[in-house]
Structure 1
Amino acid sequence: MSIGSNHIHTVTDQDGAAILDIEHGTVTTLNSTGAFVWQRLERGEGLQIIAASLSRDTGEDVLTVERDVREFVESLKQNNLLSRPMRRA
């Protein structure tokens, strides 16, 4: 995954995140949940681990959360913010 590459810069706070992609000239904003997932991806955590953690924190069904996380990751890929497939666990 290319998070943290030279052309991606991120600012994160309690309200969310802003991701500047210098190569493509875009800024992507994330809400607090998106920022949570982004930070976990930066750490190299797998999608199932991220979903399980979010499920515990929110009380939502883990399968629903995992589906939503996968959709979010696909959106990041479509916006050229991720390039490699994510680990499952």
Structure 2
Amino acid sequence: MLTLNRHFQPHPDVVDTPLDNDETVLLHLTRSAYYTLNPTGSRIWRGLKQGWSLQDISHSLQQVFEVDAQRADRSVLALVQELSENELVQPPN
């Protein structure tokens, strides 16, 4: 079960490119699949790249986007679950 005290990191086969509109494009090199993250997803991705816990990322969303804790928590958990299912992130080694 995915919880906020967990850490994830980008999969080594994934590269990212930030776009001018605060979106981010992810490319999984071995699967030749790409994904686009909106500004919220981009902020979550940056937190993952910096080694933050999912809880720390949620706190950041609460401050930047002025959302309540439950909404931020749900957003982080949902996106990380989806990224994990698509092999874009993994637990740290």
Name the TM tier (shorter chain).
Answer: 0.7 to 0.9
Q: Structure 1: how far apart are the matches of 2:19 and 2:52? A: 20
Residue 2 of structure 1: CA displacement? 4.8
Q: Identity over the aligned pairs, expressed in percent?
A: 26
Counting only pairs closer than 5 Å after superposition, residues 3-42 of structure 1 correspond to structure 2 as: 3=10, 5=12, 7-15=13-21, 16-42=23-49
Counting only pairs closer than 5 Å after superposition, residues 31-70 of structure 1 correspond to structure 2 as: 31-70=38-77
Q: Structure 2: how far apart are the matches of 1:10 and 1:76? A: 13
Contact in 2 for aligned 1:4/1:42 (Cα 8 Å): no
Q: Structure 1: how far apart are the matches of 2:63 and 2:52? A: 16
Higher relative contact order (CA 8 A, sep 6+): 2
1:29 aligned counterpart, secondary structure: strand
Q: Which stretches of structure 1, 4 residues or longer, exceed 4 Å deviation after superposition?
A: none
| Structure 1 residue runs without a partner (length 5+) | none
**Amino acid of the residue matched to residue 16 of structure 2?**
T
| Structural RMSD (CA) | 1.6
Kindly tell me the number of residue pairs found equivalent between the two proteins. 84
Alignment TM-score, normalising by the size of structure 2: 0.81
1:2 and 1:64, CA in 2 relative to 1: closer, same or farther beyond 3 A? closer
1:67 aligned counterpart, secondary structure: helix
